Structure 1
Amino acid sequence: MSQQDTEQQATISRVTTGMRVIDSTGTEIGTVDLVQRGDPNAVTVQGTPNADPGSSLDELIESTTVEEPDVPADLAARLLHSGYLKVSTDLVPTGAVYVLADRIATVTADGVRLAVPAADLPPEQ
């Protein structure tokens, strides 16, 4: 694990459910619903030379019996590998967005401040 990965895991470990989440513009976007630390051994999406072009990346993720995160397979693999937050919000129709661990700027008693605007966060499907 690189030093950057270690720092990201230390940052995400200070996040708890119910914390306020504020984007890089200073807008409160919602509250933390789920905290998932990264798993460097998480399923990654890699093509194989003899892969059936009709195979679905979503099938690969579903085969791991992981219900979260509810996003396309390639993004789910990145979220599982690096760690993420699921944030309940009124900003998207599905009611939640995901925050990659490397998008967290700081964690304080006041909440989680992000390094990106809310518009850059992938919504739950």
Structure 2
Amino acid sequence: MNQQGTQQAVISRVTTGMRVVDATGAEVGTVDLVQRGDPTAVTVQGPPTADPGSSLDELIASTAVEEPDVPADLAARLLHSGYLKVSTELARTGAVYVLADRITTVTDHEVRLDVPAADLPEQE
């Protein structure tokens, strides 16, 4: 199995609500979102600009945050490899992202990473 296939096999075992622990053994938070990788993902488009004459529903939809909420170059990497969004009190925005290749082990209730929490990109 190639590296992409191995990453997808690992991330497919992760479920929302699982505890996430960094490389130092410190608790990062809990999994809020699991996104498998898409090898064809190359870019991320932002939400369309709202027309001032649009309906309220269209305005709400146009301002909805697309995942992952990070700069476009990092978003492309996350979408390509797969990622976790982790709710955490360690980030000022309340969430960080984990690239699939940063996951070392997945048990029944825990995801262990190969990086310290401080190295995880924050949600914008």
Assess same fold via TM > 0.5: yes
Partner of 1:41: 40
Look up the match of 1:82.
81
In the alignment, the residues of structure 2 paired with residue 114 and residue 26 of structure 1 have an alpha-carbon distance, to the nearest angstrom, of 9
Q: Partner amino acid for 1:70?
A: D
Aligned partners of 2:21 and 2:29 also within 8 Å: yes
For the residue of structure 1 that corresponds to 2:78, the secondary structure is helix
Percent of aligned positions that are identical? 74
**Larger C-alpha radius of gyration, 1 or 2?**
2
What SS is found at the alignment partner of 2:23?
Answer: coil
CA distances 1:65-110 after superposition (whole Å, capped 9, x unpaired): 9810000000000000000000000001100000000000100013
Unaligned runs of 5+ in 2: 49-61
- The two structures, once aligned, show a CA RMSD in angstroms of 1.8
Partner-residue secondary structure (3-state), 1:80? helix
Equivalenced residue count is 109
1:62 maps to 2:46: yes
TM-score of the two chains, using structure 1 as the length reference: 0.82
What TM-score do you get using the length of structure 2 for normalisation? 0.83
What are structure 1's unaligned runs of at least 5 residues? Answer: 45-59
